[in-house]
Structure 1
Amino acid sequence: MNPKILIFIDWFTPGFKAGGPIKSITNIINSLSDNFDFYIITSDRDINEESSYKNLKLNSWISKEKYSIIYLTPDTCNKWISDHINNTDYDKYYFNSLFSKNFTIKPLLTLNKLSKQNIIIAPRGMLGKGALSIKPFKKKIFLTISKILSYYKNVTWHATNEGEKNDIIAVFGYKSKIKTASNISICVIDEKRISKVKEELNLVFFSRISPKKNLIYVLNLLKEFNHISLDIYGSIEDKNYWKKCLKIIDSNKINAQYKGEINPIDVTTTLANYHFFILPTLHENYGHVIIEALTAGCGLIISNNTPWENLSEKHIGWEINLNDNAKFINTLRHCLSLEENEYDTIRNNCYKFVSEEINSITEIEDTKKLFT
């Protein structure tokens, strides 16, 4: 009999607006379902939605091919989870968030009362400096109180890279129990050629529209250009932030359009229509969308607040410090100046990088060790 793993996650398929965290869990399950029996507890709706998923059984377990899942309604969630934890044992309890009230903090309290030791928490970048800079006072108070109360004393932390490991140590101390396993990426390359004319450039921004993803930074860069187009995809997580974006677009006559959300099965084929993917994020502990962009052949213009480094040496893009506005502008000018043959080299290098560097068996084996 396989070990039983109980996963807590705020949003899961058929939801997709939460982006990376859903992909992380999906890829773990697809890679390790022969070795572990996975059970998922999640909410009954997508992020920022007011109604439940259509045509889904709620508040009861549903058996899928590779996992079992329950979608809990808000009125049922907390009591059901508490009762279930008290009455059912699992080999590991895996939390896909740090600050989630209903799917981390409250369940963890119940587990602590039972003195459970087999708990794993994946912060998913929430302890990075950029992430902690958003609503910092509230987060600082919570983390301080949690340390005083030894709230995370029985936890093993899942770090996805050395940077995140250092972030965990910086907050919770060097005695923290940490296992490192990079995110699993499952990529299928379907090469596509697109036209590139000198002094024309088509950019794509695909991420949740929120301060952390930093779309306003992109729009301020584009004030300097007349021949760059930007298509914006992603769920509008912060409506006030989006209003500020629209004001910049309208007042500066920027060639930018909001194209809505992308169904997960259409992400790669959609991104493949653009020359470069731009994301000046405040922090990413991995960035599944970055890999999706490379899989689509999009060169990268991103901040240096991700684990993806030395992009220019690999000839697949650039990672740039957000304080170096001039370098972002010069990079865009360089991309504008590219002829088609020069651009094709970058696109080929993106495909080559994904083929050679992603889908590594190492990530799967490291994640397997996380649960054993």
Structure 2
Amino acid sequence: MRILQTIAGLGTHSGGTSSCTYDLLVAMHRMDCDVNLMTLQTTDLIGCGELWIKALPNDSISPYGYSRNINRYLCQSDYDLYHTNGMWMHCNHETCFAARKKGKPYVITPHGMLYPKALKRSYWKKWSLIQLFFNKDIQGAACLHATCKQEMDNIRLFGYQGPVAIISNPADIPMYAGSLFDKKIKAFLECHHPKKFGFLGRLHPIKKVENLLYGMSLLNEDQKAELVIIGKGDDKYEQFLRLEVERLGLKNISFVGFIDGKAKYELLASFSALFVPSDFENFGMIITEALSVGTPVMASLGTPWEELNIHHCGWWKDGTPEEIAQVMSDILNMPLEKLINMGENGMNLVASNYASDKVALKMTKLYKWIVNDGEKPEFVFFPNK
């Protein structure tokens, strides 16, 4: 069984879609799965030159990303199943079109792009693409892949009535996660109580980072804490945030830019908690990254992370400044033993439910079901069943 996954961009600055796609395929190759990944070459291409990454010369033109090299590769390809990551790009449509032309099944992972709030952004452009290509692409898929039940519900709302597989994004737990947690505990004990909060992600208005600033401004004078903002993105939005820091008179806010690799995990491990106040997140790779090194997370109700409450490893609440300030205050007044216990709970949750090998096994089962018409996996759902 030969599989081709495709993605428009696989750069380190492309966001969570690129990193989770790469992590999944790395795990699948550890299981000896015959799966390739087609994309266009970039200067910051993720990976270590793996032969299964088919990075084509980048001849992309227009915001739609039209590429003759993609057309040529897909036309000449011979796979048993095609699987595209994302929506609205030439790479995604051409993958579906090529699969139909060859009479082969295909899977689409929208990565949250069919959520109503996501559809509303630049809707007039997406509406045209839906009418021209993507409605047919979606309705003709052998299966759509959702990363959580909330995403499946929005896929149904869009109108897709075929099978949906709920498979979470993989958490590529670093080998040094345990040692970072031990270092965290030691540091916390030495300073008696941690006083550092964090944000990690693309700087964009939908992320609502300003609510963290407003939450910090609501803390009492005796509840001084540091807020570290990791990430780059919309320059105008970052400038707005910096001006808000000045207007609010906050002295303990730092913008550290884009950080990746071990340095990112070390910084995540140093936080008392990570805050995700976004309007919505489809899955939120940053949440499993933080949990994997023992850092509790507060995520807004716009994320599918009720598990934070269920497993006592964080807070799933409204992302308002008032709620954020309350959580920050609770953390600052919390016994250190309880905060450490929450960190342990988060590490256990990621290891048991989101480890990349478990996610890769589910994806392999999905492919076998589609290609070989075997027994339906328990994580595949039809409407009203």
- TM bucket (normalised to shorter chain) is 0.7 to 0.9
Alignment partners' CA distance in 2, 1:84 and 1:269: 40
Give runs of aligned pairs for residues 318-333 of structure 1, distance below 5 A.
318-322=315-319, 324-333=320-329
Aligned length: 349
2:347 paired with 1:351: yes
**Counterpart residue number, 1:214:** 208
Which of 274, 282, 289 lines up with 1:292 in the alignment? 289
Q: Tell whether the 8 Å contact from 1:267 to 1:292 is kept in structure 2 after alignment.
A: no
Q: Tell whether the 8 Å contact from 1:272 to 1:298 is kept in structure 2 after alignment.
A: yes
**Counterpart residue number, 1:243:** 239
Gaps of 5+ in 1: 46-51, 57-61
Alignment partners' CA distance in 1, 2:80 and 2:248: 56
Which of 308, 311, 316 lines up with 2:308 in the alignment? 311
Aligned-partner residue type, residue 69 of structure 1: K
Percent identity for Structure 1 against Structure 2: 20
Kindly provide the CA deviation profile for residues 39-62 of structure 1, in whole angstroms up to 9, marking residues without a partner as x. Answer: 2222322xxxxxx359x9xxxxx9
Q: Tell whether the 8 Å contact from 1:198 to 1:336 is kept in structure 2 after alignment.
A: no
Q: How much has 1:111 moved relative to structure 2? A: 4.5
Q: Give the match's secondary structure for 2:12.
A: coil
Label 1:75 to 1:352 Cα distance change in 2 as closer, same or farther (>3 A): closer
**Counterpart residue number, 1:124:** 111
**Counterpart residue number, 1:154:** 140
Alignment partners' CA distance in 2, 1:251 and 1:20: 32
Kindly provide the CA deviation profile for residues 259-317 of structure 1, in whole angstroms up to 9, marking residues without a partner as x. Answer: 12112233322211111101112222222210110112111111122222142343211
Give runs of aligned pairs for residues 68-87 of structure 1, distance below 5 A.
68-74=53-59, 78-87=67-76
Alignment partners' CA distance in 1, 2:95 and 2:193: 55
Which of 358, 367, 371 lines up with 2:363 in the alignment? 367
Deviates more, 1:118-127 or 1:85-94: 85-94
Alignment partners' CA distance in 2, 1:138 and 1:198: 53
Superposition TM-score, scaled by structure 2 size: 0.80
Kindly provide the CA deviation profile for residues 39-87 of structure 1, in whole angstroms up to 9, marking residues without a partner as x. Answer: 2222322xxxxxx359x9xxxxx9726x232243135861111122222
Kindly provide the CA deviation profile for residues 233-276 of structure 1, in whole angstroms up to 9, marking residues without a partner as x. Answer: 11x22222222112111221222111121122333222111111
Give runs of aligned pairs for residues 170-319 of structure 1, distance below 5 A.
170-173=157-160, 175-187=161-173, 188=175, 189-190=177-178, 191-192=181-182, 193=185, 194-195=187-188, 201-225=195-219, 227-234=224-231, 236-254=232-250, 255-319=252-316
Label 1:87 to 1:280 Cα distance change in 2 as closer, same or farther (>3 A): same
Q: Tell whether the 8 Å contact from 2:93 to 2:137 is kept in structure 1 after alignment.
A: no
Which of 84, 100, 103 lines up with 1:95 in the alignment? 84
Q: How much has 1:232 moved relative to structure 2? A: 0.9
Q: Tell whether the 8 Å contact from 2:27 to 2:356 is kept in structure 1 after alignment.
A: no
Structure with higher helix content: 2
Alignment partners' CA distance in 2, 1:310 and 1:6: 32
Aligned-partner residue type, residue 22 of structure 1: S
Which of 12, 15, 22 lines up with 1:19 in the alignment? 15
Q: Tell whether the 8 Å contact from 2:204 to 2:237 is kept in structure 1 after alignment.
A: yes
Label 1:329 to 1:130 Cα distance change in 2 as closer, same or farther (>3 A): farther
Q: Give the match's secondary structure for 2:298.
A: strand
Q: How much has 1:145 moved relative to structure 2? A: 5.3
Q: Tell whether the 8 Å contact from 2:168 to 2:354 is kept in structure 1 after alignment.
A: no
Alignment partners' CA distance in 2, 1:6 and 1:310: 32
Aligned-partner residue type, residue 275 of structure 1: S
Alignment partners' CA distance in 2, 1:135 and 1:229: 36
Alignment partners' CA distance in 1, 2:335 and 2:49: 52
Q: Tell whether the 8 Å contact from 1:8 to 1:41 is kept in structure 2 after alignment.
A: yes
**Counterpart residue number, 1:135:** 122
**Counterpart residue number, 2:7:** 9
Q: Tell whether the 8 Å contact from 1:125 to 1:283 is kept in structure 2 after alignment.
A: no
Alignment partners' CA distance in 1, 2:192 and 2:249: 22
Q: Give the match's secondary structure for 2:245.
A: helix
Q: How much has 1:109 moved relative to structure 2? A: 4.1
Alignment partners' CA distance in 2, 1:327 and 1:118: 46
Superposition TM-score, scaled by structure 1 size: 0.83
Label 1:362 to 1:68 Cα distance change in 2 as closer, same or farther (>3 A): closer
Label 1:253 to 1:140 Cα distance change in 2 as closer, same or farther (>3 A): farther
**Counterpart residue number, 1:42:** 39
- Computed over aligned residues only, the root mean square deviation of the Cα atoms, in angstroms, reads 2.8
**Counterpart residue number, 1:49:** none
Q: Give the match's secondary structure for 2:82.
A: strand
